[in-house]
Amino acid sequence: MKEIPASRPGFEPINQIIRGYQLTQVLSTAMRYGIFSRLDKPKSASILAEEISTEPTITEKLLEVLVSLDLISKADGGYVNTNLARSFFVKDSVFYQGDVIDFIVDSYPLWSELDYALKNGQLDNSGKGKREDTFDRRFIMASAEASIRGALQDTVEVIAGLPEFKDAKRLLDLGGGHGLYSIAFAQRNLSLQAVVFDLPPVVEMSRGFIKDYEMETRVSVMAGDYLKDDLGSGYDLIFTSHSLFYQPREALEAPLRKIYRALKEKGTLVINHWVRQKDIGGHIQFGEYLLLHFDCPLFRLTD
């Protein structure tokens, strides 16, 4: 007789992995309907459903799932945001992550090609993933939101401690995207003038962030493609974050030579980029990044 096992291995870590898609859809749907922005005060499921024009029973079920995720709680006969949701999912919060969620959900079709890439070493030639298509509005907004929740502050704190930064008067933020790094650098070094260099559509968005933080007199933009265009000259420090090493190894020499020419004598290049150290194992986000960018080179500290 084959007996039922008396003990069982813990399955919860695996369960969390396989439920990831469903829970992301729950969160994405809640964001799309602006649910968190309507729950600053307790509100019943029926009233919320009327406000957002949804079916009341399914709306209540969705709210119950959000309760189980600790994103909302029950109070005074209704549902209300937790501090976690207030911080990250209400639009007027400085830490709002709505575009990050949208960007992740939009990447699902690309993930469906992992099987093809695993066998063929590259994506199907479908026209997706071109460099000029990568840096659209949603990408820049998602990048800004992901940065502001901690990576930006941690990076600036390290660089602000460098003697080269403290003495710098001119900084080039190469591939600077949203420009938040330049803004933060200028706020830390009051003698610094920063320039955000990126593709023409991107720097239009950079201007918006610069204006929002009232840094127009300290942070400017320069439109161009660092693979083709001149970077200017006379910079004490050039900073690049998750930009330069999107290129294959053989394409790096030309932009690095441009950077060298753009720096003052004894100027400094600071690169903020994911690199592989001993292994990827402990870095889930790094591993996901490498898989999503199938043709992105894997650099090590020794490269």
Convert the pLDDT of each residue in 180-194 to its tens digit. 999 999 999 999 999
CA pseudo-torsion sign 86, 62, 106, 299: positive
Q: For tokens 């420009």, what's the residue?
A: 179
Q: Quick one: DSSP state of residue 164?
A: H
- pLDDT given at position 115: 84
* Contact present, 34 and 52 (Cβ < 8 Å): yes
217-234: b (≥16 Cβ within 10 Å) or e = ebbbbbebebeeeebeee
pLDDT confidence of residue 129: 47
Q: How far is CA 296 from CA 108, 122, 136, 243, 249, in A?
A: 18, 10, 19, 11, 10
Neighbours of 216 (CB within 10 A): 10
Per-residue pLDDT, 172? 98
- In order of start, what are the domains of the chain with their CATH numbers? 12-90 (1.10.10.10), 108-292 (3.40.50.150)
Helices (H), strands (E): how many in the chain? 16, 7
Give the pLDDT of residue 86.
98
Query: Closest Cα partner for 40 from 92, 5, 110, 2?
Result: 92
pLDDT, residue 127, reads: 46
Task: Give the count of beta carbons closer than 10 Å to the beta carbon of residue 267.
Answer: 19
List beta partners, residue 268: 237
Report, in this order, helix, strand and coil percent for the chain, each rounded to 5.
50, 15, 35
pLDDT of residue 105: 92
- Per-residue pLDDT of 121-168, as tens digits, reads 766 655 454 445 556 888 899 999 999 999 999 999 999 999 999 999
Pairwise CA distance, residues 137 & 165, whole Å: 30
Length of the chain: 303
Q: Count Cα neighbours of 155 within 13 Å in the Cβ-side half-sphere.
A: 22
Q: Which two tokens stand for residue 231?
A: 């970077």
Distance CA 60, CA 174 (A): 47
Neighbours of 263 (CB within 10 A): 20
Low-confidence ranges of the chain (pLDDT < 50): 127, 129-131, 282, 284
